[in-house]
C-alpha cells in the first residue's frame, strides 16, 4: 500500500520535485533506526514483547498518517511514514523468529515471506478502492484500514509461543562482533542482501513516477506494483525447496540474472506491458537473492550471538535501502528512467565479481549453528 501511494502523495504535496520520495525515504529511515534497538530489545525482553512494541509504534504511525492526509500536511505525513517504518523495522525480524522455531529453516523462511502474497493483493487494491470511493480524502482512509491490520497483528501475537533465548545463552557472551561479521559467509550474505534490496527498492519506488510521467493513471501503476509484489512473494512457496536442491549461491546467481533481465526489459520500451513484465521479474529476482542471503546469514551465528549478527545484517541492508528510497525520486527526475536501469546493471556487474571472488571462501566455511 505504501509503495503504491507514498510517492504519489509526495508528488502532490511535496514542496519540490526533489522531495517526491521523501516520505518513502522516511519510512526506510525509521526502519533503519529500529534495526539495532529491535534486536537488542528482543534479546533482553523476548520476541513477543519486541514485536508487540513494534506493532504499537506502527499503529500510532497509521493514525498520524490519517490525520496528516486530512489536513494535506507533507512533513507530518513524512513523520507518520517514519513511525510506520520503525514498526516495520521490528517486523523484519519475523523471518529470523521463524527460522529459530523450525527444524527446516529454508521452508520456515519461505512460509513467512509467502505471506506477502496477501499484501500484494490487498495493498494496491485497497489504495485504488479508497481513491475511487473517497477521492476527497486523499488516501487517508487507507491508513485507517492499515491501523485495523495492526490491531489484528497485536492480538494474534499474544497467542504465539516463540523460541526465546535460554537464560544460559543470555549470560554467555559468545564470539566478538568483529569475528562474527568478518566470516566469508556473513560478508557474502550481507552484500547480496544489500544489493538485491537496493536495486529492487530503487526501481520499485521510481516505477509509479516513471509511469505517471508517461501518462499512466493510478490504477495502471497499482496493477504493475501488485504484480511486482506478487513476484516478490509468490516464489516463496517453492524458493526454500529450490535452495535446498541447488544451493544458496546458485540461487543468488539466478536472482541476479532476473533483476538484470528486468532492466533490459525496461530499457527496451515504456509500454504498460514493459513495466508489468520488468517489475514482475524484479520481484522474483529479489526473492531468490534475499531469501538465499537471509538463510546464509542465519548459518553464521550461535543463539547467544543472534542479537549482534541480526542487528548488523538489518542495519547494513536497510541503510542502503534508505539511501535508495531518498534518491529514487531525484534520480528519476534528473537522470531519467533509462539511466536508472543502466545504473542497476552496473551494480549487478559489481556484485557478480564479488560473488565469484567469495564463492570458494563461502564453501570453505561449512559451520552451521
Q: Among 75-79, 246-250, 320-324, 353-357, which is the least confidently predicted range?
A: 320-324
Sign of CA dihedral 126, 13, 325, 29: negative
Domain limits at 297?
A: 2-160+169-363
pLDDT value of position 336: 87
Q: Report if residue 269 sits inside a domain.
A: yes
Residue 117: how many other CB atoms lie within 10 Å: 17
Q: Report if residue 368 sits inside a domain.
A: no
Q: Report if residue 369 sits inside a domain.
A: no
Domain count, the chain: 1
Three-state secondary structure call for residue 111: helix
State the Cα–Cα distance between residues 116 and 9, nearest whole angstrom: 23
Per mean pLDDT, which of 7-21, 46-60, 85-99, 123-137 is the most reliable? 46-60
Q: Could you tell me the three cell numbers for 227?
A: 504484480
The 10s digit of each residue's pLDDT in 227-252 is 898 898 888 888 888 998 999 999 99
Q: Report if residue 242 sits inside a domain.
A: yes
Mean residue pLDDT across the chain: 85
DSSP label at 215?
Answer: T
With pLDDT > 70 as the criterion, what percentage of the chain qualifies? 91
Q: Report if residue 41 sits inside a domain.
A: yes
What helix, strand, coil percent values describe the chain, rounded to 5? 85, 0, 15
Q: Report if residue 35 sits inside a domain.
A: yes
Q: Among 17-21, 44-48, 92-96, 244-248, which is the least confidently predicted range?
A: 17-21
Q: Among 136-140, 211-215, 241-245, 303-307, which is the least confidently predicted range?
A: 136-140
State the Cα–Cα distance between residues 193 and 168, nearest whole angstrom: 31
Q: Which residue has the higher pLDDT, 117 or 254?
A: 254
Q: Report if residue 260 sits inside a domain.
A: yes
List the CATH number of the domain containing 98.
1.20.1250.20
Q: Could you tell me the three cell numbers for 233?
A: 512473494
Helices H, strands E: what count in the chain? 17, 0
Q: Report if residue 209 sits inside a domain.
A: yes
Please name the helix (run of DSSP H) or strand (run of DSSP E) that holds residue 284, with its range, or none: helix 272-297
Q: Among 71-80, 179-188, 240-249, 354-363, which is the least confidently predicted range?
A: 354-363
| Residues 6 or more apart in contact with residue 272 via CB below 8 angstroms | 216, 220, 224
DSSP label at 217?
Answer: -
Mean pLDDT confidence for 249-264: 95
Please name the helix (run of DSSP H) or strand (run of DSSP E) that holds residue 363, with its range, or none: helix 337-364
Please name the helix (run of DSSP H) or strand (run of DSSP E) that holds residue 208, with its range, or none: helix 184-213
Amino acid at each position: 500500500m505504501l509503495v503504491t501511494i507514498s510517492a504519489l502523495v509526495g508528488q502532490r504535496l511535496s514542496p519540490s520535485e526533489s522531495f517526491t520520495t521523501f516520505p518513502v525515504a522516511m519510512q526506510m529511515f525509521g526502519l533503519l533506526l529500529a534495526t539495532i534497538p529491535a534486536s537488542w530489545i528482543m534479546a533482553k525482553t523476548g520476541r513477543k514483547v519486541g514485536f508487540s512494541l513494534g506493532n504499537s509504534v506502527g499503529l500510532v504511525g497509521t493514525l498520524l498518517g490519517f490525520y496528516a492526509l486530512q489536513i494535506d500536511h507533507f512533513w507530518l505525513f513524512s513523520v507518520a511514514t517514519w513511525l510506520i517504518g520503525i514498526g516495520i523495522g521490528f517486523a523484519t525480524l519475523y523471518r529470523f523468529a521463524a527460522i529459530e522455531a523450525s527444524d527446516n529453516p529454508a521452508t520456515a523462511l519461505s512460509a513467512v515471506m509467502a505471506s506477502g502474497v496477501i499484501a500484494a493483493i490487498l495493498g494496491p487494491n485497497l489504495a485504488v478502492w479508497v481513491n475511487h470511493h473517497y477521492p476527497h480524502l486523499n488516501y487517508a482512509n487507507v491508513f485507517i484500514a492499515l491501523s485495523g491490520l495492526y490491531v489484528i497483528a497485536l492480538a494474534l501475537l499474544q497467542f504465539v509461543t516463540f523460541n526465546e533465548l535460554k537464560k544460559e545463552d543470555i549470560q554467555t557472551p559468545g564470539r566478538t562482533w568483529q569475528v562474527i561479521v568478518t566470516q566469508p559467509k556473513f560478508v557474502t550474505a550481507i552484500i547480496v542482501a544489500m544489493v538485491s534490496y537496493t536495486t529492487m527498492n530503487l526501481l520499485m519506488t521510481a516505477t509509479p513516477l516513471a509511469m505517471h510521467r508517461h501518462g499512466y493513471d493510478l490504477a495502471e501503476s497499482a496493477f504493475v506494483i501488485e504484480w511486482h509484489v506478487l513476484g516478490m512473494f509468490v516464489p516463496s512457496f517453492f524458493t526454500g525447496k529450490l535452495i535446498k536442491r541447488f544451493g544458496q549461491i546458485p540461487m543468488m546467481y539466478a536472482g541476479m540474472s532476473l533483476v538484470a533481465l528486468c532492466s533490459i526489459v525496461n530499457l527496451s520500451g515504456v509500454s504498460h506491458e514493459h513495466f508489468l513484465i520488468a517489475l514482475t521479474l524484479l520481484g522474483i529476482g529479489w526473492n531468490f537473492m534475499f531469501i538465499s542471503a537471509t538463510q546464509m546469514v542465519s548459518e553464521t551465528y550461535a543463539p547467544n550471538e543472534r542479537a549482534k549478527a541480526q542487528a548488523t545484517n538489518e542495519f547494513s541492508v536497510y541503510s542502503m535501502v534508505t539511501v535508495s528510497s531518498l534518491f529514487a525520486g531525484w534520480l528519476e527526475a534528473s537522470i531519467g528512467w533509462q539511466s536508472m536501469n543502466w545504473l542497476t546493471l552496473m551494480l549487478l556487474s559489481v556484485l557478480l565479481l564479488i560473488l565469484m571472488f567469495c564463492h570458494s571462501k563461502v564453501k570453505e566455511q561449512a559451520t552451521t549453528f
